[in-house]
Structure formats: C-alpha cells, structure tokens
Amino acid sequence: MRFVDGRGATVARAPVALGLAVGLALALAPEFAAHASPIDDPFVGGLSFTGPTSASLAAIYWNPAALGLVRGTQVMIAGTVTYASTTVTGLPGGTASAHDLRQPFQWPLGPGAFLGISSDLGGDRFTLGFATYMPYLEQTKYALSPTMNEPTRYQALQVDLRNLELVPALSIRFAGDFRAGVSTGFLFSTGRLSFAEDTTLDGMSPSCNGVPCGQGNPLGDARIDLSSGNGLGDAKFSVTVGGGLYYRRGNVEVGVAYQSRPVGGAVPGVEVAGEQTTVTAPGNTLVTCPTGSSTRCVFGDLTYRLPDVWIGGVTWKLRPGLELSATARWLWLHVHDRMDVRLTGPTLEAAGVPQHIVLYRGFHDVWDLRGRVSYWFRERVRLGAQLRVETSAVDASAVNAAAVDGLTIQPMGLVEARLFKHLWLAAGYGIAFMGDVNSNPSAFGPLDPAQTKACTALGGDLDACALRNAGRVRPTAAGTYSRVVQDFGLTMTAKF
C-alpha cells in the first residue's frame, strides 16, 4: 500500500521503510566486529521513545539541543530492570555461569535509573534541565567455589563498575526550528573488582604443601577483592562535557550530539579508590597488618578509561501520528585498553602478592544502530517497535569472563499512554540475543620460563615484558561464551 502525504508526495508504507532500515543495519553489521560493549547502558532515560530528536527529558543524554522540544515543566522518573544470563564452557575447571539482575531501586540512584526535571521558563527560547543517571556500568557476578577453583577466577569473579552522573543542560532556540544545547556532567565513580592472580606467572614461587605450586593451582593464587563501596562519599570525581544540535525542516527532524570522556581528573579516565580492599595471599592466608590485628593495612586503586560518544538520528513523520526513526551511537572505546590495579600495604611483598597488576581489555570502537516505527492513537496511546544491532568492543580472541561479547540483535516493543491530564506512563521490553563466541585461540597465555625470568629480573628485557605490561600474561581464557539479556523498563512523566 502507498499513501500521499500533505505535500502531495507518494510515500511508502512505514513497515516497508522499517524493513529496509533493519535490513541495511544487518547487512552492515559484518563490516564491523559485530559484538556488544561490556561497559555501557544502551537505554539511558529508560526503555522508551528516546533518541536525539525526541521530546523527552532523556534528551539531556541523547541530545541536549532536543531538550528544547520539552514544553512547560516536566518531571521524569525511569527505571530499567535487566536480567543477564552468561554461560562459559571449555575453561580449565569446567563450566561457569552468572545470572545477574540489575535493578534501579537503590541509593545512590541505581543502575538503569533516570531522574530528570526541566522547564522552558515560560517561552520557547531557553529550556533548562537537570538529570542523574549511570551512562557507564558493568555488572557480572560468578558463583564462588569452596575449593577456590572457579574456572573464571583469573579474569573475573565479580565486576561491579558504576559511574553515576549528575548533568545540568541548556537548550537554546536560535532561529526557526534550529536549536543548540550544552551539558556538563559531574561523574562519580565507584566499583568492586574481584579476581585471582596466578603468582607463578609473576615470577614468584609460592609453596603448596611444601613443594612449589604449579601454574593454575588455586593454592598458589593471590585473591584480590578491590572495593570502594557505592556511596557518594566513596566515589572519585571527574567531569564530562557535551553538546548537540537539532534542526527540523518540514516532516524531517535531524539531531547530532557529543558526550566527552572524563576530563580534568588526576588520572586518564576514571579511578576507583579501594578503601575496602581485602587480599588473600597464596596458601589462602588473609593479608593483615604487621601485628596481624587488622585488615585495613591493604588498599587498592583501580583506573580505566571511558569513551567519547557521538550520537546522530533522523525522524521522518510519514503522516499524522506515524513516524520512522533511525539512531546511531558511535562509542570511541579504543582508548579503553586495560584496567590498572595498584595495591599498597606494608606486608604485601612478604606475603608474595604483586603490587601492580594489569588486566587486558583491548576494546574497539562500537556502533549501536537502531530503527524504530511508532504510531499514535488519538494522541493518548503510542505503540512502537524497535530493532537494535550493536557492534563489537572486543575481538573474539580477547573475549573473557570480564568481557563477554558476541553479535547482539535486540528486538523491542514499546508503549506509551496518557493516564491522566498531566501524567504519562511508558513501558518497554527487549530481549538481546548473542550468538556463541569461541575465544580459541585466546589472547591470554603465560610466557615461557625464559621470558618470565627475563621480565622479572632487574633490568630485564623490555620486549619480554610487553605482554605482561599489556595485561595478557594470564592463564588462558579460551572457551565458548554465550549470553542472553532481557530488559524491561517503565517511565513515568508528569507534564505541567
């Protein structure tokens, strides 16, 4: 079927256009690495009708310029509950799994939550807004074993990295339907990272029942539980900046935006201050103060980098109530090459625990492509369908328990309704499918004995240390990884 728009032009039916957009996204996906980003929230502002051309308070993230489309005074509360099921097979020690439920009902504001308020100041020239949310987070928790022989322990036992952002934003209309916006983000970083370190690969010689421990022996591991706590008082602070443009001509809207990586901090990227860190030395002995009376003599520090993010989108209003949207996010994750762990304590060296550990990440840039069709019924109910395809942050060889990636395709259903004169409620559901990823050969592996000796010796061969400095000298992560993620979101908006 075809219909004629208000200007007399013949326009194809919306489902056909959406099918072409989706087909193009799937066709382009193989040109990239075709996986998913481990440290990112793809639904900032809720699982709803958001994007760089949407009249929603979520525009504070998606495009500050589009905040000017939000009329009057509005308050928005959104929450997304995420259930992720991860399975790892083929690792030494057997199969491992993680079943993680991420929910926003926490304080400080939890992962997947969004709280915003805005006002157009009684006109259409300026709009001010403020929101708080977590744009970057990663949560995975594997089951612990009483024998300490967890298959994933050398890459991850528990990862809980949170970056809470408080963002004021301003949108200005210059002429006609051309708007510009700016924002400033105040980022508070906390986290917990638990893993095991095979100290034999660090050139140490731990003893297991009177004989040297071999590689992969749990009794020769140091177990690090680096934790800051999740309160605002536990967080390290940094700043981001953002901006965007919005323009509408006829029935077509275009929006572009940029969000910077953290700037102005003491370290490149963000820092987690592990004031609540505990370390267990080889032989399963807790590292304490010299008197043995306290565990508060060990402190940890974790640093890693976050991306710059570019966002672009187009919305085409095919006819009254019917619109087609396409959005792309480009995450510059190539700077996130490693996580740097530093431990300090007067008894660490005597306990045979390394004080500097590098964990390889080696991320690539990520493309997040989405197409959405939506339709209004009498301005009270809006229905929508969306498809998201996301590309890779990690090569298959670098996939490990701390970064499980695979080609991700996520269909979603969306609905929004006006319940009362000033109250709107939106809901969405999506299920993300990731095909099995085989990480054999693995980017991780031990050095040969000669390289290990050269690297640990004073003045050792720098070439021999290159892989260790990159964080790739670890027991192999070769195995098969699979993951299924389900997202359910609710958004409530009061409009005055």
pLDDT per residue as tens digits for the range 21-73: 444 433 433 333 333 478 999 999 999 999 999 999 999 999 999 999 999 99
* Cα 53 from Cα 177, distance rounded (Å): 12
Residue 292 has pLDDT above 90, yes or no: no
CA distance readout (Å), 155 to 143, 251, 252, 357, 462: 13, 50, 47, 12, 24
Q: Phi-psi region for residue 215, left (φ > 0), alpha (ψ -120 to 50) or beta?
A: beta
For the stretch 209-225, pLDDT in tens is 778 888 888 889 999 99
Rg (CA), the chain: 25
The CATH number of the domain holding residue 126 is 2.40.160.60
Q: Which residues contact 147 (CB under 8 A, 6 or more apart)?
A: 218
User: Residue 468 domain-assigned?
Assistant: no
User: Residue 355 domain-assigned?
Assistant: yes
Q: What DSSP string describes 348-394?
A: TTTTT--SEEEEE-----EEEEEEEEEEEETTTEEEEEEEEEE--SS
What pLDDT is attached to residue 135?
96
464 pLDDT band, cuts 50/70/90, is low
CA distance readout (Å), 309 to 40, 289, 364, 381: 11, 44, 13, 32
User: Residue 275 gets which letter from DSSP?
Assistant: T
CA-based nearest residue to 410, from 93, 22, 124, 148: 22
For the stretch 110-143, pLDDT in tens is 899 999 999 999 889 999 999 999 999 999 999 9
User: Residue 471 domain-assigned?
Assistant: no
* Cα 70 from Cα 121, distance rounded (Å): 11
CA-based nearest residue to 176, from 124, 137, 229, 139: 124
Residue ranges of the alpha helices (H) in 271-326? Answer: none
How many domains does the chain divide into? 1
Residue 19 has pLDDT above 70, yes or no: no
CA-based nearest residue to 66, from 242, 315, 246: 246
- Would strands 113-119 and 94-102 be described as parallel, antiparallel, or unpaired? unpaired
* Cα 460 from Cα 273, distance rounded (Å): 31
Secondary structure element (H or E) that encloses residue 437, with its range: strand 423-438
Domain extent for 175:
15-442+477-495
Residue the block writes with tokens 């638990």: 194
204 pLDDT band, cuts 50/70/90, is confident
Mean predicted lDDT score pLDDT of the chain: 88
User: Residue 196 domain-assigned?
Assistant: yes
* Cα 153 from Cα 344, distance rounded (Å): 22
What pLDDT is attached to residue 449?
66
* Cα 103 from Cα 110, distance rounded (Å): 7
Q: Exposed, middle or buried by CB within 10 Å (0-12, 13-18, 19+), for 27?
A: exposed
Q: Which residues contact 13 (CB under 8 A, 6 or more apart)?
A: 1, 2, 3
What pLDDT is attached to residue 189?
96
Q: Exposed, middle or buried by CB within 10 Å (0-12, 13-18, 19+), for 458?
A: exposed
User: Residue 452 domain-assigned?
Assistant: no
More confident residue, 207 or 478: 478
CA-based nearest residue to 144, from 135, 130, 133, 156: 156
293 pLDDT band, cuts 50/70/90, is low
For the stretch 420-458, pLDDT in tens is 989 999 999 999 988 899 999 999 988 776 776 677 665
- Does this model's pTM top 0.85? My answer is yes
What pLDDT is attached to residue 132?
97
User: Residue 202 domain-assigned?
Assistant: yes
* Cα 356 from Cα 460, distance rounded (Å): 17
Residue 7 has pLDDT above 70, yes or no: no
User: Residue 80 domain-assigned?
Assistant: yes
User: Residue 316 domain-assigned?
Assistant: yes
What pLDDT is attached to residue 33?
33
Amino acid at 258: Y
